[in-house]
Amino acid sequence: MKFLSVKGPNVKIHFRDMRDCGLETGDRLKIRGFLETFPQEKYPDRTGYYMLTEAGLDAWQQQAAR
């Protein structure tokens, strides 16, 4: 979330640029509406990009303010 919040919301980040975000973590954040995922072009069944949502940025900023 910290890395994505620096990039800002609604910016697609390639999966290779993500750190400390495995499948389970990504799934939990996606379920909460904090993250969106997009498939790879060559392998549509795999995650290719991550994107922080506005709700995810708001939640991160609230957590960071504590």
Note the pLDDT of residue 21. 80
Question: Domain range for residue 45?
Answer: 2-65
Q: In the structure, what pLDDT confidence band is assigned to residue 37 with cuts at 50, 70 and 90?
A: very high
44-57: pLDDT as tens digits = 999 999 999 999 99
Which segment of 3-12, 19-28, 38-47 scores lowest on mean pLDDT?
A: 19-28
Number of domains in the chain: 1
Global confidence as pTM: 0.85
Q: Is the pLDDT of residue 66 over 90?
A: no
CA dihedral 18, 57, 59, 62 (to 10 degrees): 110
What sign has the CA pseudo-torsion 3, 28, 48, 15? positive
